[in-house]
Structure 1
Amino acid sequence: MPLPTPSTPGGPRESPESWVVMVPGVIPGERIRLRIYRNHKNYSEADLMHVLESSSERVEPVCPLFGRCGGCQYQHMSVAAQRAWKREHVLQVLARTGNVTGITVQEAIGTEHTLGYRSKITPHHEKPRGGEIREIGFLKLGSRALVDVPECAIATPAINARLRGLREEVRVTARAAAVAETPRKPKGATLLLRETREGVVTDPRAEVSDQVGGLLFKYTAGSFFQNNPYVLPHMVEYVVRKAGAPNVRYLVDAYCGGGLFCLSASKNFEACYGVEISELAILSAQRNAELNKIGNCHFQAGDATDIFAGIGHISGADTVTILDPPRKGCDEGFLTQLCRFRPARIVYVSCDPATQARDARFLLERGYDIEEVQPFDLFPQTRHIENVIVFVEAHRTGAGAGSMPSWAGEGGTASL
């Protein structure tokens, strides 16, 4: 977490106000003693040595591995503080990367399931040494070394129960291979544990299913599917609600995956069009449409830019676009085509507010306004957050890009 500091011995010459020191395990407002171990062009990295004055939001971490295991970063903070800081993070990124000011960010939406919520984990292990596998777990904080994790506090109870047996199975297999002296030496590996309607599965090729908002989604266990079953329905409901608008007839889902958003919103549109670069994901989307008896969704495999070639018969003014790109955000070529197509609304879902803010700047400079910014706390106890921004054409709001929406200033919001 960044912590302003008045001086940085040995670092580049920067003004005290602009210099930032990155210190893990600190809560805004605390006074601490730290040790700087690396200087960069415009910030430093440091270790927390001692907390001199604690925040009232500091709590005792649940996991004994917190501070060593890199899986969680915020267990030392109350859940309320975590969500407040994540909302603040979205605000800061929008201002610094997106050059967006005067925008209100809603409180992060989460549930009471802040531990034992994660329905998928992928622990790792290195190749056996002398027939023994020592650590099976996650990367150590700030290191490429592994921390042995016999139990994960944010994984579901069913996953933790299966993890104990799987760890032993992996170690027994490694010992047996060493005794057999097979020419094929065991290597390091990434394991999978995923809890679905079929139970906890460990085979990434297994077909599994989950239910979201009354719809059933089938997919392979190793493919992408959001792993917080408690918050996910709330986020899907929000995206579907924000995608709906009067006089809008069509939906374009530009990174549709297995069809989660496209199929969930299909009842509000005459026709829906989804594109995904993975052919396997498109097959899943098509199968999920058949499974749920939804006939107005059309899916195609290809790059996100390919979708515009297939929708020349519809007007952007009659269309809403949902974007849920990978962490790197949207390609500039795609955004250029999107702005040329000119959808009436854009609902942008992102797992990285920084790349989302970069793309937001592109859209704002080309005649879109931000209607609403809504974070979702899909990953309690960690620094990760899912963020949704709703864009509308500027002429539909009667306001300039980046201006304050009419609802700004209501209770339960934070603004710059």
Structure 2
Amino acid sequence: MTNIKTETYITEINELDRKGSGRAVVWRDTGQVNPKKLKLTIPQTIPGEKVKVTVDNPDRKWLRLQADQVVEPDLERIEPDCPHFVRCGGCVWQHWSYSGQLKHKTDYVKKVLEAQGFDQSLVLDTVGAENPWRYRNKMEFTFAADGSLGLHEQGNFRKVIPLETCLIASEDMVNAAMEVANWTKTHQLSGYHKDTHTGLLRHLMVRQSFETGEIMLGIFATEAPDHELTYAIEDLIRRIGRKCPQVKSLMWFENRDWADRTQAEQAHILAGRDFIYDEMFGYRYRLWFDTFFQTNPKQAEKLVELAIEMANPKSSEKMIDLFCGVGTFSLPFATRVSALAGIEIVETSIASAKRNAIDNGIDNTVFLAKDARRGIDQILTDFGIPDLLLLDPPRSGAGGKVMRRIGRAKPERIVYVSCNPETFATDIKELEPFGYQLEKVQPVDLFPHTVHVECCSLLTYVGK
């Protein structure tokens, strides 16, 4: 029998990684001249805490493991509310008080901006959620190979943790998901196996409007919903209709691609329509399965309010909304300016933005389906130089070429909404040579119990 070499240490958590897990370093005395450095990633810990760990493979240079014991806990440490928290990857900070999470997010934004040479005092305290629970209006669950439904295990994308509840999703959404899980068990339907690429069910998408209450359920599978599935599908329609009356869209999506994401080669309406209605900031939106919409609607409304407050739009001004999506910011701003042009690379989002403008009686908008760099050139030629420009790019940021094009256009004011403070900081650095000054940055917490934080900022043209 092989003896397993183990070593036990007490070490201090010195920082967090990008996914919210603690980092620590152990210096091992191996009897040689210099000790060996062992880097540890320890989930569910807080910077400054001292923890006891048992290392099963100390000869490695890096290990991810759970702490045996928190020897010196942080004052902000609390007991997590969710029974799945220790294993589930949906949240990473339920062991940390909400006030502690907010302070860390503020400090993080200050740190990344300071690294680019900006003054930390421009960063305000993070705006927290009134209720950090039940805030998500969209969830994507995964079917395990045995057909059970859940979320991925922390640090292990191939392992699915079956769930009985989820405290960051609405109760209606959880109930609808559990009804689908029960249906799967009843009919003994298989889940998708990531290694063998076999099995039927892959993902379940649930999205709900907190304003209208409407729910969309989307099942992603490797086959069409016909032939031998007919009886099971009919039973699903009956179950959902009887137990989940809020479901106004029950969809089945074929996805045979090996990539593990919720994409569709073919869509089938099982019951209801292929979209649901949602409302935000007094405007109505149609949401399809692939429509990007802010996942925390209550905090998203605060984000829109902040953007309007910072921008101070005037009825005589023209505006560009770059990365406009379905018009989340476009519609509220359009009623406050003389004309607005929206640019977005996703054609279905532009189609939705146009339709949403019509649904809300807004007729002073132009929407263009193009990538940001080429789209802004076309809009500047056809639309003219804007007084105000708003951009809300993806996590990868707008990029240097787009930011320099904005700088050359010289709009009077720029409102940058970001979901990634690091790319935000490098993007706005590009504007300094063009005469722009960062006025303030307001972090907003749209994703409690996770590492993510949004920022709303204002830059003004002050001349070179």
- TM category (shorter chain) comes to 0.7 to 0.9
Task: State whether structure 2 residue 187 is matched by structure 1 residue 118.
Answer: no
Shift of 1:374: 0.8
The alpha-carbon distance between structure 1 residues 108 and 367, as it changes in their structure 2 partners (threshold 3 A), is: same
Shift of 1:9: 4.0
- Deviation per residue, 1:270-314 (Å, 9 max, x gap): 110001111111111111111111111111111112122122366
Contact 1:62 1:75 in 2 (8 A): yes
Percent identity of equivalent pairs: 29
Task: State whether structure 2 residue 217 is matched by structure 1 residue 202.
Answer: yes
Contact 1:374 1:387 in 2 (8 A): yes
Task: State whether structure 2 residue 91 is matched by structure 1 residue 64.
Answer: no
Match of 1:170 in 2: 184
Alpha-carbon separation, structure 1, partners of 2:351 and 2:378: 20
Contact 1:109 1:377 in 2 (8 A): yes
Match of 1:350 in 2: 418
The alpha-carbon distance between structure 1 residues 301 and 173, as it changes in their structure 2 partners (threshold 3 A), is: farther
Shift of 1:155: 0.5
Shift of 1:173: 4.3
| 3-state SS, counterpart of residue 451 of structure 2 | coil
Match of 2:404 in 1: 336
Match of 2:223 in 1: none
Contact 1:4 1:21 in 2 (8 A): yes
- Pairing partner for 1:156 from 136, 158, 170: 170
Task: Give the counterpart letter for 1:156 in structure 2.
Answer: S
Match of 2:95 in 1: 76
Shift of 1:365: 4.3
Alpha-carbon separation, structure 2, partners of 1:201 and 1:217: 14
Shift of 1:72: 0.4
| 3-state SS, counterpart of residue 45 of structure 2 | coil
Shift of 1:239: 0.9
Alpha-carbon separation, structure 2, partners of 1:312 and 1:146: 51
Task: State whether structure 2 residue 457 is matched by structure 1 residue 389.
Answer: yes
Alpha-carbon separation, structure 2, partners of 1:10 and 1:225: 53
Match of 1:311 in 2: 380
Contact 2:408 2:434 in 1 (8 A): no
- Deviation per residue, 1:132-178 (Å, 9 max, x gap): x1x4111111112111122111110111111210111233444499x
The alpha-carbon distance between structure 1 residues 271 and 237, as it changes in their structure 2 partners (threshold 3 A), is: same
Task: Give the counterpart letter for 1:309 in structure 2.
Answer: Q
The alpha-carbon distance between structure 1 residues 283 and 5, as it changes in their structure 2 partners (threshold 3 A), is: closer
Contact 2:136 2:170 in 1 (8 A): yes
Match of 1:139 in 2: 152
| 3-state SS, counterpart of residue 193 of structure 1 | strand
Any residues of structure 2 matched to 1:7-406 within 5 Å, and which? 8-9=27-28, 22-34=41-53, 47-96=66-115, 98-128=116-146, 133=147, 135-144=148-157, 145-175=159-189, 186-196=199-209, 197=212, 199-203=214-218, 206-245=274-313, 249-305=317-373, 306-312=375-381, 316=385, 318-395=386-463
Alpha-carbon separation, structure 2, partners of 1:319 and 1:22: 47
Q: Which runs of 5+ in 2 are unaligned?
A: 1-15, 31-37, 192-196, 219-250, 252-266, 268-273
Q: Which runs of 5+ in 1 are unaligned?
A: 12-18, 178-183, 397-416
Shift of 1:102: 4.1
Alpha-carbon separation, structure 2, partners of 1:218 and 1:381: 29
Task: Give the counterpart letter for 2:97 in structure 1.
Answer: S
The alpha-carbon distance between structure 1 residues 47 and 272, as it changes in their structure 2 partners (threshold 3 A), is: same
| 3-state SS, counterpart of residue 422 of structure 2 | helix
Rg bigger for which structure? 2
Contact 1:69 1:141 in 2 (8 A): yes
Shift of 1:71: 0.8
| 3-state SS, counterpart of residue 352 of structure 2 | helix
| 3-state SS, counterpart of residue 158 of structure 1 | helix
Contact 2:334 2:364 in 1 (8 A): yes
Contact 1:377 1:386 in 2 (8 A): yes
Shift of 1:10: 9.0
The alpha-carbon distance between structure 1 residues 244 and 185, as it changes in their structure 2 partners (threshold 3 A), is: same
Alpha-carbon separation, structure 1, partners of 2:126 and 2:198: 48
| 3-state SS, counterpart of residue 210 of structure 1 | strand
The alpha-carbon distance between structure 1 residues 250 and 193, as it changes in their structure 2 partners (threshold 3 A), is: same
Alpha-carbon separation, structure 2, partners of 1:230 and 1:108: 15
Shift of 1:185: 6.2
Task: Give the counterpart letter for 2:150 in structure 1.
Answer: G
Shift of 1:355: 1.4
- Deviation per residue, 1:10-34 (Å, 9 max, x gap): 99xxxxxxx9864321223322234
Alpha-carbon separation, structure 2, partners of 1:187 and 1:175: 7
Contact 2:173 2:206 in 1 (8 A): yes
- Deviation per residue, 1:196-250 (Å, 9 max, x gap): 2252210367211211111111121332111212211111111122122569711
Shift of 1:319: 1.6
Task: Give the counterpart letter for 2:443 in structure 1.
Answer: P
Shift of 1:373: 0.7
Task: Give the counterpart letter for 1:50 in structure 2.
Answer: Q
| 3-state SS, counterpart of residue 312 of structure 1 | helix
Alpha-carbon separation, structure 2, partners of 1:199 and 1:247: 35
The alpha-carbon distance between structure 1 residues 176 and 327, as it changes in their structure 2 partners (threshold 3 A), is: closer
Task: Give the counterpart letter for 2:280 in structure 1.
Answer: V
Shift of 1:389: 2.1
Shift of 1:7: 5.3
The alpha-carbon distance between structure 1 residues 40 and 304, as it changes in their structure 2 partners (threshold 3 A), is: farther
Contact 1:126 1:187 in 2 (8 A): no
